């Protein structure tokens, strides 16, 4: 399976390469398509991030985020809400094309995007953008960065009681 973005649409595609060395043509067949909340097929996606089988998709107008599980077809749409005198900040946030990683907490229904500070020509700080339901948005400063071009990386972690074997003889190559 592969994820493809074609004309701002996100598709889950089956890719069959079996037999290509025997003269059999490869095939690519649609298995799923990201659709909008009202089940219309019109949703323009500008950026896609992948983590642990889930996709974080950012709409072309940057007004919505959606977490999509292409395997099950489940989606979680995050839409900004109005708080106080202005719209939430993430409505116009643009994630860098080559930056950022994210972590999804399905139970809490939030996405945490790790990136560089925005609106700065020479970013020196790492930040976490926490985005949730009902327009929830927070930006958390993760501190000074020595890497100006590399964004922080994140992944899910599950504590384990398994002990890593220490020591032993080194194998020579």
Distance of CA 98 to the CA centre of its chain: 12
What is the structure's pLDDT at 168? Answer: 46
pLDDT confidence bin for 14, thresholds 50/70/90:
confident
Give the count of domains, the chain.
1
Residues 77-134 pLDDT 10s? 877 654 433 333 444 444 444 455 677 777 667 777 778 776 666 667 777 787 777 7
Tell the residue number behind the tokens 């074609």, with chain if given. 6
Does the structure show a pLDDT above 70 at 157?
no
**Residue 170 within a domain:** no
pLDDT confidence bin for 37, thresholds 50/70/90:
low
Which domain covers residue 85, as residue numbers? 45-144
Q: What is the mean pLDDT of the chain?
A: 65
**Residue 32 within a domain:** no
**Residue 111 within a domain:** yes
Which two structure tokens, joined as six digits, stand for 6?
A: 């074609």
Indicate the SS3 state at residue 145.
coil
What is the structure's pLDDT at 22? Answer: 61
**Residue 70 within a domain:** yes
Which of the residue ranges 7-11, 30-34, 90-94, 161-165 has the most confident prediction, judged by mean pLDDT? 30-34
**Residue 78 within a domain:** yes
**Residue 33 within a domain:** no
**Residue 164 within a domain:** no
**Residue 157 within a domain:** no
Which residues have C-beta within 8 Å of that of residue 104, sequence separation ≥ 6? 51, 52, 54, 56, 67, 110, 111, 112
């Amino acid at each position: 399976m592969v994820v493809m973005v074609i004309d701002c649409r996100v598709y889950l595609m089956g890719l069959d390469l079996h037999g290509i060395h025997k003269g059999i043509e490869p095939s690519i067949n649609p298995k799923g398509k990201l659709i909008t909340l009202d089940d219309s097929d019109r949703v323009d996606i500008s950026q896609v991030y992948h983590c642990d089988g889930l996709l974080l998709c950012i709409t072309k107008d940057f007004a919505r985020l959606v977490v999509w599980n292409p395997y099950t077809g489940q989606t979680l749409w995050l839409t900004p809400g109005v708080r106080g005198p202005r719209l939430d900040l993430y409505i116009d946030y643009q994630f860098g094309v080559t930056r950022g990683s994210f972590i999804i907490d399905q139970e809490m229904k939030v996405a945490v995007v790790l990136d560089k500070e925005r609106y700065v020509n020479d970013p020196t700080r790492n930040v976490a953008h926490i985005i949730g339901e009902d327009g929830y948005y927070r930006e958390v400063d993760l501190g000074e960065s020595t890497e100006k071009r590399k964004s922080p990386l994140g992944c899910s972690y599950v504590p384990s009681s398994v002990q890593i074997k220490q020591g032993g003889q080194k194998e020579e190559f």
